[in-house]
Structure 1
Amino acid sequence: MNRRQRALLIRSIVFLSVVNSLSLAFYFFLHPPTHPTPETLNSSVTTTSLKPWPFLPSFLPWNPSSKPPLRSCEAYFGNGFSRRIEAHGGGGWFRCFYSATLRSSICEGGRLRMDPSKIKMSVGGEGLKSVMGRREEEELPEFESGSFEVEGDGSDGSRAGGRVLDEEFLDRYVPQGAIHFHTMRGLMESMRFVEPGKLQCSQWIEEPTILVTRFEYANLFHTVTDWYSAYVSSRVTDLPNRPHLIFVDGHCKAPLEETWEALFTSVRYAKHFTGSVCFRHAILSPLGYETAMFKGLSESFICQGTTANNLKASPENHKTARLSEFGEMLRAAFGFPTDEISLKRPSTVHNILFVRREDYLAHPRHGGKLEPRLSNEPEVFTAIQNWAANHTKCSLNVVNGLFAHMSMKEQILAIYEASVVIGAHGAGLTHLVSARSKTIALEIISSQYQRPHFSLISQWKGLEYHAINLAGSYVRPEMVIDELSSIVRSLGC
């Protein structure tokens, strides 16, 4: 290679180097490198496919253009959370939706951090027998300052270490009411601001997550109010899919947890996280005590269950389809039909479900013995079996509803297939929430338990309801058979 060829080669190499450098510079100008932030250096991102919402025949939109009238059925059971209050904006955010009817709020926030080490409570989720005798105080959460944190940029007066919500805000939108220890309010009281970029997390949860604090987690009625509150919170905040759920309490694992797992995408306990957790979107569910289902026991309001189609055609403030919608949600969560025509059987075949009360171990402070509500329950059950076996016009199947020894899926299926539900006053009758619209309820009420729980649920669902009121706790079997005979005649039998 001569001198001229070498010079030409060198010039070519230099030219290509310059072009390559300019190309790289132009690329990085358009695509600047991303520098790791503390949250990406010190955390892993959790993403999981969320469960979709099922089709519910009774579903009505949860975000109406006009807010429902105060103390209307929609205000009690639907989207009465119509007053939106922005509590904080900026890097992180927090706001609440207040219901003047229920005197409660559904709140949500973004870039919210939970530090389980600052929440004083038992771990939760243990097997029942391993924690026998544990006190309730150990299971309910106590929140230290900073148990929860929200990123603030100072634009709205937020300062690091300052409270996100003051007492005036909480008194107005999360009032204590008659609840001795309001755990969700305690959670909000603990919330503090942190500076942008200082939200140190060992894990980020990217998808919407509902935070729930529970009280009577082993009692079906009270647990259904918690299920309903979490469901309403999901709808009011307009979640496109079913969220994750975290229990911010230290209760042990109970059989009713099966339904939580069916309703939501995933279920975890706060204390099961090994470090701090950050949420892109967290929703704080109100206490079950603040739902219409519970308030109906002490407040006087009239709501009659009807179909969603009737409400679409003629909206009425004293009618509702919300509890039917929720019952369909419970059925769908376990894979059962949400409509009423999928139960294919002859019109002359009917299930009579007798909801029984049996001894079982419910929680660490429970001795396993239930107080009988009907002193001669076995005698009544046998009498119903004999009567049904001799009935000639229809085939009557008497189902022994031993709910204490059945899975939740089995319990909800038994309710769905029942034409008649009969039982003494007890939490098991709360399952009427999942019953079909033509199911008939017969409650046997002893003198010591004259309470309106199940007549109200039947009313709110639009179910036909009958009651046998007793002077004590004994019922003559003939009285029950006479009432059942009248009911099955109305069924065409």
Structure 2
Amino acid sequence: MMAGRAHGHRNRLRRLIPRLLLLLVAVYAASFAIYLLLQSHSHHQSPPDPTPRTEARDGVLAPSSSQKPWPRLPSFLPWVSSAVPPPPLHTCEAYFGNGFSRRVDVLPAGRGSGGGGWFRCHHSETLGSSICEGARVRLDPALIAMSRGGEPLEQVMGRAEEEELPKYEPGALQVEGPAAGMPVPLVDAGFLNDYVPTGGIGMHTMRALLESTRVVPPGELHCSQWVEEPTLLVTRFEYANLFHTITDWYSAYVSSRVTNLPNRPNVVFLDGHCKAQLEETWEALFSSVTYAKNFTVPVCFRHAILSPLGYETAMFKGLSESFSCEGASVDSLREKPDYEKTARLSEFGEMIVASFDLLQDDIMSSKKIEWTQCSLCSTRRLPGPPAPQW
């Protein structure tokens, strides 16, 4: 009898853990967003620059000889290392870290007369999703049916949600590779079912984009402009919802780390949502931000990465799946690695703070951060911001 009660108690705890974990992350992010909002109204705050450094002009990403470097994060652990094996399936680190351990080469690099293009996906059996990337990739905005995006909210009041989500025609995305004189599909239905399953998502836009992708022969990738730096292609759904946006931020961050990018990438939104306040954090986290429909001509990327939907992150899956996950400090994990514990959420929180140049700020100095361990996750107890001067 006692054993049955103990078993039931453990099951309830396992169901409760991911929900509490999500709540802690959401509360932390909400508190931080409110703090930034209050600070922006302070009389001591310098007036905002009307032209953000990450804004695009006529669809052209802000010219830059180099992208933003990754900040130094106290809780960072390597995401890609030949000396460290991938985490076992369905462990805490596989959910929140680099569980994308199965590499599938769709178009291998340097194969015969295939040109300079390549395409591959990194699959996570734990999450049931993939991070895909390719070289010499062409995006044609004319073959994407959706609104322009980035407009002020007051200009688009009453616009249907369906108008803001992309619908792709064949060839909306192209990759240079071996093709017998005419474009051919990059992947088939079997590949999509194995590596980009719908997973109950009614409109899986990343899957639809891959389904529309065509391989074109060398010399047939006609581009009016090239983006030289690595670029994330991201589709948002609940773009004004804080929790859903956190999952998008995390998915984009994980995609950047799993593909081992040397600097923070550009971001292109493959959606037509209007501009919202949370977009400022996108601009802080990454090197530049623009909308696909802001490009007026086909654009080519030397390196493009398709970020999984926020619905496919561990944060969202914790609402419907039961898995055990415990937070730990990075020092304890360096000393004694444990796949059932993770410091990835602490690392991600530090990434957000560092993106606003607050890690070295007097208010939020890293020396003032106290690490509090609990049975669920590592949380940050930060000194409260000073009262704003209205």
TM-score relative to the length of structure 2: 0.76
Deviation at 1:461, TM superposition (A): 3.0
Q: For residues 144-184 of structure 1, give each alpha carbon's deviation from its aligned partner in whole angstroms, at most 9, with x where no partner exists.
A: 00000111234xxx662210011111110000111000011
User: CA RMSD of the aligned region, Å?
Assistant: 2.4
Deviation at 1:302, TM superposition (A): 1.1
2:282 corresponds in structure 1 to: 260
1:69 corresponds in structure 2 to: 88
Question: What secondary structure sits across from 2:104 in the alignment?
Answer: strand
Deviation at 1:316, TM superposition (A): 1.2
The one-letter code matched in structure 1 to 2:97 is G
Deviation at 1:460, TM superposition (A): 3.1
Deviation at 1:188, TM superposition (A): 0.7
Q: For residues 396-454 of structure 1, give each alpha carbon's deviation from its aligned partner in whole angstroms, at most 9, with x where no partner exists.
A: xxxxxxxxxxxxxxxxxxxx8xxxxxxxxxxxxxxxxxxx63499xxxxxxxxxxxxxx
Q: Which runs of 4+ in 1 moved over 6 A?
A: 338-341
Question: What secondary structure sits across from 1:52 in the alignment?
Answer: coil
Of the three residues 168, 171, 182, the one matched with 1:146 is 171
Q: How far apart, CA to CA, are the structure 2 residues paired with 1:258 and 1:294?
A: 22
| Contact kept in structure 1, 2:230 and 2:304, CA below 8 Å | yes
Matches within 5 A, 1:295-306: 295-306=317-328
Q: How far apart, CA to CA, are the structure 1 residues paired with 2:275 and 2:244?
A: 16
Q: How far apart, CA to CA, are the structure 2 residues paired with 1:133 and 1:143?
A: 23
Q: How far apart, CA to CA, are the structure 1 residues paired with 2:61 and 2:377?
A: 45
Question: What secondary structure sits across from 1:293 in the alignment?
Answer: helix
Q: What is the count of residue pairs matched by the alignment?
A: 313
2:219 corresponds to 1:197: yes
2:365 corresponds in structure 1 to: 342
Larger Rg: 1
Q: For residues 98-154 of structure 1, give each alpha carbon's deviation from its aligned partner in whole angstroms, at most 9, with x where no partner exists.
A: 000000000000110000010000000000010001000000000000000111234
Q: How far apart, CA to CA, are the structure 1 residues paired with 2:78 and 2:300?
A: 30
Higher relative contact order (CA 8 A, sep 6+): 2
Deviation at 1:94, TM superposition (A): 0.5
Structure 2 unaligned blocks of 5 or more: 1-59, 109-113, 382-390
| Contact kept in structure 2, 1:76 and 1:101, CA below 8 Å | yes
Matches within 5 A, 1:365-384: none
Seen in structure 2, the aligned counterparts of structure 1 residues 327 and 44 have a Cα distance that, compared at 3 Å, is closer
Deviation at 1:63, TM superposition (A): 1.1
Larger displacement relative to structure 2 (255-264 or 300-309): 300-309
Deviation at 1:338, TM superposition (A): 6.9
| Contact kept in structure 2, 1:44 and 1:203, CA below 8 Å | no
2:25 corresponds in structure 1 to: none
2:140 corresponds to 1:115: yes
Deviation at 1:236, TM superposition (A): 0.3
Q: How far apart, CA to CA, are the structure 2 residues paired with 1:57 and 1:129?
A: 41
2:340 corresponds to 1:318: yes
2:102 corresponds to 1:83: yes
The one-letter code matched in structure 1 to 2:70 is W
The one-letter code matched in structure 2 to 1:152 is G
2:380 corresponds to 1:460: no
Between the aligned residues of both structures, percent identity stands at 63
Structure 1 unaligned blocks of 5 or more: 1-42, 346-415, 417-435, 441-457, 465-493
1:327 corresponds in structure 2 to: 349
Matches within 5 A, 1:345-424: none
2:341 corresponds to 1:437: no
Question: What secondary structure sits across from 1:113 in the alignment?
Answer: strand
